[in-house]
Amino acid sequence: MPKIKNREPGAPRRLTKTEVAILGYVGAHEGETCSKAKIAKALGRNVKTIDILISNLRKDGLIVVEPRWAESGGQLANAYRLARMPTQE
């Protein structure tokens, strides 16, 4: 796999096909609880790949992860949504 050159801070980067697919999946299922395993299965990818790419998309400010908790205190599958740009007034 070719090495990706470092980009300047704040410079845009090209998304992978899988990252674009994740954004499409999240957009279609916005706000629903969903495990990374469910996303991986829907996209035909490895769970670890989805984990890494969701982390990257989150760092880039493209998706928001909303943790969900059971009444007992245990963590449930997260809910994901697309990040929204602030509206200018």
Domains of the chain (ranges, CATH numbers): 17-82 (1.10.10.10)
> Exposure of 80 by Cβ count < 10 A (0-12 exposed, 13-18 middle, 19+ buried)?
buried
Give the separation between CA 45 and CA 73, rounded to whole angstroms.
30
* pLDDT average, residue stretch 50-60: 95
Which two structure tokens, joined as six digits, stand for 18?
A: 């899988």
Q: Which residue has the higher pLDDT, 53 or 87?
A: 53
pTM: 0.79
- Tell me the pLDDT band of 63, cut-offs 50, 70 and 90: very high
pLDDT tens track for 6-46: 667 667 789 999 999 999 999 999 878 888 999 999 999 99
